[in-house]
Amino acid sequence: MIRTEHLTKQYGKLEALTDLNLEIEQGKVFGFIGPNGAGKSTTMLILATLLAPTSGKAYVAGYDVEKEPKAVRQSLGYMPDFFGVYDNLKATEYLDFYASAYNIPAAKRKSLIADLLELVNLSNKADAYVDSLSRGMKQRLGLARCLVHSPDVLILDEPASGLDPRARIEMREILKQLRSMGKTILISSHILPELAELCDQIGVIEKGRLIACGDVDEVSVGTRGISVMQLKVLSRQEQAEAILSQSPYVRRLDNKSSHFRFHFTGTEEDKAELLSRLIAEGIPVVHFGDSNENLEDVFLAITEGVGN
């Protein structure tokens, strides 16, 4: 549904995007992760026909973004990272405006808008002025706006930015609902655990290059041969730490009293060997395994060193 081929974008001398190749299939949710300035928003702008690539091609729903922007726009809902609303409009009028901007006949709009407001849990705010809504509500209204023309593809640039935890969870629930409706979604975020639950695939981008891409587990188990591991012991922390730091595969050892966290560069066999050594030394191990509850570590591990 979304495909880019050797996509490159330069702002003057700065290369914001270098030879990006992406392929997102229909019905998949693709999470786009990267530090600030990595080029996520740039990619999304190009896909949304708002920015011309310097070279390379990009396709949305089979249409070339440069050659057939009208068709792309019809099959695409785009939500920018920052967007404004019109202050003097009510929520329904706001959606009505965008519905008519997509040439949806007036007769259909009323029920469509009611459905959309229902979907994003804003039915009770239908007659409220848009600028009286809270940040989270505006964000949800923005999402409803992307959906007025029922596009197959959604491109959401940090939809959860600036939201409190509750609002984030609400947003995530809505996105899950959209996923179950079979939409193809490209979503970028800084809050990584959030993506893990929602996404089928993840792409890590850094300095304009895609450095890892694949299924969520694949990426976290280390496309670059790095995984993040956890070790919990009952006592004898010193010996445990000594064993860990002796191992050639352990890096970035982080010790929180009896709870260790480290990057492991070896294979699965090496992991097993490390564990058996710990046991052989008589260290009471309660937990030894991949730390997959925290994708942020994976993110840091993967992007580590690429920048410098």
Partner 1 sequence: MGAFFTNPLIVKEMRERFRSKKSIWILALYLLVMGALLFGYLYLEQMNSLSVPGEEREVFVVMAVVQYAMFCFVAPALSAGTISGERERQTLNILLTTQLSPFKIVTSKLVTSLAYIFLLVVASVPLYSLLFLYGGISPSQLLTMVVFFAVNILFFGSLGLFCSTWIRRTGVSTIIAYGLAFFFVVGTGIIVLFLAQLIEEISPPGVHPFDYLGMQILCSLNPVFVMFSILGVDPGDDLRLFMDPWLFFVIACCFLSAVLVIWSGYLLKPVRRSWLGWKKR
Q: Which residues lie across from 259 on neighbouring strands?
A: 232, 256
Q: Does 42 bind Mg ion (CB under 5 A)?
A: no
Report, in Å, the least distance between residue 89 CB and ligand ATP.
28
Residue count of the chain:
308
Nearer to partner 1, 65 or 298 (CB): 65
Residue nearest to Mg ion (CB): 41
Candidate list 5, 35, 89, 172; residue touching partner 1; CB under 8 A: 89
Candidate list 9, 33, 41, 94; residue touching Mg ion; CB under 5 A: 41
- Which residues, numbered 126-155, are part of the site for partner 1 (CB under 8 A)? 145
Report, in Å, the least distance between residue 80 CB and partner 1.
6
Residue nearest to ligand ATP (CB): 41
Interacting span for Mg ion (CB under 5 A) from 33-41, 49-57, 89-97, 228-236: 33-41
Report, in Å, the least distance between residue 120 CB and partner 1.
16
- Which residues, numbered 5-24, are part of the site for partner 1 (CB under 8 A)? 10
Candidate list 6, 21, 26, 52; residue touching partner 1; CB under 8 A: 52
Report the chain's C-alpha Rg in angstroms: 23
Q: Which does 14 bind (CB under 5 to 8 A by kind): ligand ATP, partner 1, Mg ion, none?
A: ligand ATP
Q: Which does 49 bind (CB under 5 to 8 A by kind): Mg ion, partner 1, ligand ATP, none?
A: partner 1
Q: Does 70 bind partner 1 (CB under 8 A)?
A: yes
Q: How many CA atoms lie within 13 A of 225 on its CB side?
A: 8
Residues that bind ligand ATP (CB under 6 A): 11, 14, 16, 34, 36-42, 81
Nearer to ligand ATP, 96 or 158 (CB): 158
Edge-to-edge order in the sheet of strand 153-157:
76-79, 153-157, 184-188, 29-33, 201-206, 209-215
Q: Does 189 bind Mg ion (CB under 5 A)?
A: no
CA distance 66 to 48: 10
Which x/- pattern over 69-108 shows residues binding Mg ion (rule: CB under 5 A)? ------------x---------------------------
Give the binding site for partner 1 (CB under 8 A).
10, 45, 48-52, 54, 65-66, 69-70, 73-74, 76, 78, 80, 82-89, 93, 97-98, 100-103, 106, 145
